[in-house]
Amino acid sequence: MTGSTPPYLRIAASIRERIVAGELPAGRRVPSTRQIVREHGVAMATAAKALGVLREQGWVRTVPGGGTLVADRAPEPLEPDGLVPGASSIGVSPGSTRDVVVRAAIVLADRDGLTALTMRRLAAHLGVGPMSLYRYIPDKDELLRLMADVAFGEEPPPEPGPPGWRAKLELSAHIQWRAYRRHPWLTAIMHNSIVRPPAVPSGVRMVDWELRALDGLGLSAHDMLHTVLALDGYVGGIAASNALEVQAEHDTGITGSERMSADSALHTDLFAGGRFRTLAATLPPGATTLADLDELFEFGLRLHLDGIEALLARTREAQNAPG
């Protein structure tokens, strides 16, 4: 677990480790909320949340008047050598058990979408009991964070990269775009907030690499950061459109083209009488899409990089202005 892991998950993990080690056998009371508050220096609500996680995962059970006890049947482990049953059939490489679980989750999310990914379904995919996964992944939020780190980091930015800031930022945008196209679900995690991004190491590495591309060009630290966040936000925003369409297809079985065709009568009504004639003039007859998404991405990226170039030019002019 990382330092960014919420306190309640760290507490739950420490109690879970004591159960796995046999220090807290089946039927034994686990630390109460008051004990957790004293030992870990957290609020009562945090302590209750930690026990709630263990209860949801099946490690403990609550007995009225008897406190919280270790469950009679603890979750069974995955195979100890780091592989899981059926791992070779789902296209993952041997490695740590956590790595196998994460990569199996990526396979499922790629195939069926993020909304279809549950811990129970992932366990069934791996051929183990659902509670087994919690020995390696504390909860689904952590699973999603680990999935994002692996998927976004599949193509790390090269060192030192191509010469020139523009070539570097163009490359970073293309690397991100390819990741989002391979894994449409990834944007929902990486772009749940632009200004409060998730703690994903591969994402942090990319932002640092982009900032180094702009370092020494005269921009303030504020403008450097905003330039990179705006660029990455553009890439993620365009990718989110694809992600939503892919997820809708997973959920409904209807493709985007089929939906557009089904809405053709509505579109005809909207454009009837020349109400939106300028827009209508840009659309080819019978179009089932407004634009090719990859072409739109490239067009917008050129405009964005041109804007950064103009910003750098204005910055140089201001710095070189007399007086």
3-state SS of 66-79?
CEEEECCCCCCCCC
* Other C-beta atoms lying within 10 Å of the C-beta of residue 268: 9
Three-class secondary structure of residue 298 per DSSP = helix
Boundary of a domain, candidates 70, 104, 124: 70
DSSP string, 113-161: -GGG--HHHHHHHHTS-GGGGGGT-SSHHHHHHHHHHHHHTTSPPPSS-
Residues 234 and 313 in one domain: yes
**Would you state the pLDDT for residue 158?**
93
Q: Based on the structure, what is the number of domains in the chain?
A: 3
DSSP string, 150-176: HHHTTSPPPSS-SSSHHHHHHHHHHHH
**Would you state the pLDDT for residue 203?**
94
Check whether 2 has a pLDDT greater than 50.
no
Residues 133 and 170 in one domain: no
Residue 124 tokens, joined: 């069934």
**Would you state the pLDDT for residue 12?**
86
Q: What is the pLDDT averaged over residues 1-12? A: 72
Boundary of a domain, candidates 98, 118, 137: 137
Sign of the four-CA dihedral 118, 201, 228, 180: negative
- Asked whether residue 149 is domain-assigned, the answer is no
Residues 100 and 130 in one domain: yes
- Asked whether residue 214 is domain-assigned, the answer is yes
What CATH number does the domain containing 228 carry? 1.10.357.10
By CB atoms closer than 10 A (0-12, 13-18, 19+), residue 259 is middle
Residues 190 and 306 in one domain: yes
Residues 183 and 43 in one domain: no
- Asked whether residue 265 is domain-assigned, the answer is no
Residues 222 and 169 in one domain: yes
- Asked whether residue 241 is domain-assigned, the answer is yes
Residues 190 and 105 in one domain: no
- Asked whether residue 156 is domain-assigned, the answer is no
Residues 170 and 121 in one domain: no
* CA–CA separation, 32 and 5 (whole Å): 21
Contacts of 276 (CB under 8 A, 6+ apart): 270
What CATH number does the domain containing 37 carry? 1.10.10.10
**Would you state the pLDDT for residue 323?**
63
| Count helices and strands in the chain by DSSP H and E runs | 14, 2
This prediction's pTM: 0.69
Boundary of a domain, candidates 45, 70, 95: 70
Residues 234 and 304 in one domain: yes
Residue 133, domain extent: 87-137
Residues 126 and 205 in one domain: no
Residue 8 tokens, joined: 């309640």
Crossing angle between the packed helical segments 44-56 and 7-20, to the nearest 10 degrees: 50
- Asked whether residue 153 is domain-assigned, the answer is no
Name the most confidently modeled range: 67-71, 264-268, 283-287: 67-71
The whole-chain average pLDDT of the chain stands at 83
pLDDT digits (tens, 9 = 90+) for 148-195: 999 999 999 999 899 999 999 999 999 999 999 999 999 999 988 777
More confident residue, 174 or 72: 174
| The three-state (H, E, C) secondary structure of 209-266, written as one string | HHHHHHCCCCCCHHHHHHHHHHHHHHHHHHHHHHHHHHHHHHHHCCCHHHHHHHCHHH
Residues 239 and 173 in one domain: yes
* Backbone Cα Rg of the chain: 25
- Asked whether residue 217 is domain-assigned, the answer is yes
Residue 156 tokens, joined: 């790390």
Q: Furthest-apart CA pair in the chain: how many Å? A: 80
Residues 173 and 200 in one domain: yes
At residue 202 the predicted structure's pLDDT band, cuts being 50, 70 and 90, is: very high
Name the most confidently modeled range: 45-59, 71-85, 277-291, 301-315: 301-315
What CATH number does the domain containing 129 carry? 1.10.10.60
**Would you state the pLDDT for residue 305?**
97
- Asked whether residue 82 is domain-assigned, the answer is no
